[in-house]
Chains A and B, each alone.
Chain A
């Protein structure tokens, strides 16, 4: 189900990334076995060697879009490319119609792109409050940000003064999502939120993402296929550097021919 804001579909994010983006930094070796991912479906230009240059992956305002695929196909790298942490070697990232390729990470973040990274990346020696405060934009009201964070995650309220490193994995994930939430973001990049968490906690985290997605557009990377399809409106299935399948998550099942082929190890 799509949730276009204001009744019309607004394209928020558009990706055009070169396939060789996902080759390791040494670049010259292991090309064959190194998984290359490209978000997009239509080859546009012949580019580096045999790897096509692809485009057309987009995220529309209000959507939850999932990137799925096996380990190492470049899902995380795609998110890092959007933030400029792994700047695209070729290709472009457009946010709200503006080309943000090559911009500094903090500038992209200030445009309203939030990151809930893999392994949560807490500032373990800062308190929960400080983790939330640091994610609040300078112009924003800090008490309001606390209010938003702790009303969304009441469980964190009791731990506000604790160092984030002392929290459980599930609580840390909530802090990570809260950081994305108070950042006044239009797009939240959520990477493997269920990784390493007990099933019960995963359910709580899924609820949190559902809550967040009412406010914000979400691009989700998730290994857990049922969870990904449950949370997302649309998906892109990645393999060996390309998008091999895309569409609405409605009625999609793990047993579908294409999906089974690209997800099974």
Chain B
């Protein structure tokens, strides 16, 4: 009995240890995945709504996130000092989010009015060239400003990191896994924004206009709907959401406020929007979850098993390629979007 029994017991122990490891690993991946999905949905929903309604693929979307990150950082760095109490920091933090949302929404609306509006009726190439030009301008302006302040545009803004309210900087324990407060907060914001957008689209009159306009803007106009105004509103809110995502990315050790953040988030936004199906909000949410979990899983694999830092990004692109091969219009995409 003894030899067999000992073997069984040790196998059992091994298995138990393995299960515990696997379980905590799984919880870690789920939490990481959820927080990434929440960020991705914030970045991509504006991109998706704008494309759905106006048929414009906004290359400058990532740059808006990058500017949002710096703007949020500016508010916090200016307002928060070493003596600032926890509660004040918290209030300032929400003020920073509100301010960035306001400023970026106004900026997006102004951008739509001045430069996007004249090219709606042009070929998509014009829109791509124009918004790509905006990327170059915004990134260069950001680089100049950042360098004038004596900071490194390529690396994360360290001073901003220290301004996080306590609950974001703290670690919490969930099912044996430690997780940053920030990540939990990201999940919360993501869930709130998804719920709010879904309710806006399905429950409000204006949301109805947007859904109708996404399918046939001309018909919507002929029913007395000021669709151009809806264009401005959607472009503005999309830009505002991108900015809010930036504020959270500023503190996120996985990202951080830097000029290259724009391109990095734009790429993620495109992957999410294309996988979900251009113009489908439901698709964007599902794809953000898919891409978030893929990223989290592959990051875990990279940290524990495979020594290849490019793994998460590579697998995300493989998922993208796979979806495009099987379903070129994306998971929830319609054959035709951009209703004008």
Contacts and interface: CB of A to CB of B under 8 A. Distances in A.
Contacts of A183: 223-224
A211 to B, nearest CB: 20
B219 A123 contact: yes
A106 B225 contact: yes
A126 B222 contact: no
B222 A117 contact: yes
A104 B231 CA distance: 15
A123 B207 CA distance: 14
A16 interface: no
A134 B215 contact: no
Per DSSP, chain B at the interface is helix
Contacts of A109: 221-224
A37 B222 CA distance: 22
B220 interface: yes
Given A123-B216, A126-B208, A104 B225 contact: no
A234 interface: no
Contacts of A106: 221-222, 224-227
B212 A137 contact: no
A109 B226 CA distance: 10
B12 interface: no
B135 to A, nearest CB: 31
Contacts of B220: 123, 134
Interface string A79-118: 0000101000000000000000000111001100011010
Task: Please tell me the size bucket of the interface on B.
Answer: 10 to 19
Contact of B212 (A83, A85, A134): A134
B211 A123 contact: yes
Q: Which of A85, A105, A110, A117 has the most CB of B within 10 A?
A: A105
B264 interface: no
Contacts of A105: 218, 221-222
A125 B211 CA distance: 8
Nearest to B213: A123
A85 B223 CA distance: 12
A6 to B, nearest CB: 26
A123 B227 CA distance: 15
Contact of B215 (A117, A124, A135, A138): A124
Contacts of A130: 208, 211-212
Contacts of A126: 208, 211-212, 215
Contact of A85 (B205, B211, B222, B228): B222
A137 B209 CA distance: 12
A124 B209 CA distance: 14
A36 interface: no
Contacts of A123: 211-212, 215-216, 219-220
Given A134-B209, A138-B205, A121 B219 contact: yes
Given A134-B220, A138-B205, A104 B215 contact: no
B202 to A, nearest CB: 9
A235 to B, nearest CB: 24
A85 B205 CA distance: 24
Contacts of A110: 224
Interface in B44-93: none
A240 interface: no
B78 to A, nearest CB: 43
A35 interface: no
A75 interface: no
Contact of A115 (B211, B222, B225, B228): B222
Nearest to B218: A85
A137 B226 CA distance: 12
A110 B224 CA distance: 5
Nearest to A184: B224
Contact of A83 (B205, B208, B211, B222): B222
Contacts of A125: 211, 215, 334
A163 to B, nearest CB: 11
Q: Which of B211, B219, B228 has the most CB of A within 10 A?
A: B219
24 contacts: A85-B218, A104-B226, A105-B221, A106-B221, A109-B223, A114-B222, A115-B219, A115-B223, A117-B222, A123-B212, A123-B216, A123-B219, A123-B220, A125-B334, A126-B208, A126-B211, A126-B215, A133-B208, A134-B209, A134-B220, A134-B225, A135-B223, A138-B205, A183-B223
Interface of A: 83, 85, 104-106, 109-110, 114-115, 117, 121, 123-126, 130, 133-135, 137-138, 179, 183
Interface of B: 205, 208-209, 211-212, 215-216, 218-228, 334
Closest 4 CB pairs of A and B: A109-B224, A105-B221, A115-B222, A110-B224
